[in-house]
């Protein structure tokens, strides 16, 4: 029986198979890289806001505490956004004619809320409670980064499920004493794991339930 293809075709066939597998593998790596890129996660991406609010100026320069603007963070699911009246407490006297603050003045005069764009937006199917995290010793900077150094606010973390689970599986790595929750400059001590384990027990963190589906998906 005559051979239909020459022996050299064996090399061609193997090269095609291996090349195809390499292409698929390379494509998967590129897809993973894009999925984890800042472009997709939104990390370090500054979005457009009605007013170019600077946390750096208000927190670092003026020393305003997080709770002055986010007044419900300790007892509610949401941290809360400051009312225009809160902004005007200062800006009726300071920078009262500044053009960039015109949306604030217009909001105050018309009683129409400023439409801020959410930076740390979670999916609708995910349940998150600010107060439980605050009262269990998880600081603002753990999730939101050093907002006190941000001239304009950007997302510091991906807020994806694997990122959340990293903390839920090992809260001792991130927990701090309650009096340090709002301290943006806090850094974990060298013995964080040891001290964190003590705080997990002291604050009665229910570690056995932290990875239950119902905890975050209700």
Q: Using one digit for the tens of pLDDT, what is the confidence trace for 176-191?
A: 999 999 999 999 999 9
In angstroms, the Cα distances linking 104 to 70, 85, 97, 151, 186 are 17, 9, 11, 18, 32
Among the residue ranges 87-91, 117-121, 194-198, the one predicted with the least confidence is 117-121
Reference 133, options 181, 198, 188; nearest CA is 181
Mean pLDDT of 109-115: 95
Count of CB atoms situated within 10 Å of the CB of 211: 12
Mean pLDDT of 32-58: 89
* Residue spans per domain, the chain: 10-41, 55-81+116-216
Cα within 13 Å of Cα(173), Cβ side: 8
How many Å apart are CA 27 and CA 195, to the nearest integer? 44
Better-predicted residue by pLDDT, 118 or 4:
118
Q: What is the pLDDT of residues 48-82, one digit of tens each?
A: 999 999 999 999 999 999 999 999 999 999 999 99
Contact predicate 154/119, CB 8 Å: yes
Q: What is the pLDDT of residue 1?
A: 52
Reference 68, options 90, 50, 48; nearest CA is 90
* Confidence check: pLDDT of 35 > 90: no
* pTM of this structure: 0.83
Angle between helices 102-110 and 84-91 (to 10 degrees): 120
Q: What is the pLDDT of residue 36?
A: 79
To the nearest 5 percent, what fractions of the chain are helix, strand and coil? 50, 0, 50
Q: How confident is the model at residue 218 (pLDDT cuts 50, 70, 90)?
A: confident
Radius of gyration of the chain (CA): 25
Q: Tokens 């806001």 sit at which residue?
A: 49
* Confidence check: pLDDT of 14 > 80: no
């Amino acid at each position: 029986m005559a051979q239909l293809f020459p022996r050299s075709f064996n090399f061609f066939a193997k090269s095609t198979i291996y090349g195809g597998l390499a292409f698929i593998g390379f494509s998967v790596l590129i897809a993973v890289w894009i999925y984890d890129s800042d472009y997709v996660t939104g990390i370090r991406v500054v979005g457009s806001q009605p007013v170019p609010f600077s946390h750096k100026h208000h927190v670092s320069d003026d020393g305003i505490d997080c709770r002055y603007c986010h007044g419900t963070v300790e007892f509610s699911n949401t941290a809360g956004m400051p009312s225009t009246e809160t902004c005007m407490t200062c800006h009726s006297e300071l920078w009262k004619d500044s053009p960039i603050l015109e949306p604030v003045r217009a909001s105050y005069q018309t009683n129409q809320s400023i439409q801020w764009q959410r930076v740390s937006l979670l999916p609708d199917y995910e349940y998150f409670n600010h107060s439980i995290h605050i009262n269990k010793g998880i600081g603002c900077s753990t999730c939101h980064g050093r907002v006190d150094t941000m001239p304009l606010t950007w997302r510091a973390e991906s807020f994806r499920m694997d990122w959340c689970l990293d903390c839920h599986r090992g809260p001792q790595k991130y927990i701090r004493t309650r009096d340090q929750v709002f301290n943006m400059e806090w850094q974990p001590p060298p013995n964080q794991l040891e001290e964190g384990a003590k705080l997990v027990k002291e604050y009665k963190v229910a570690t056995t339930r932290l990875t239950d589906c119902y905890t975050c998906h209700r």
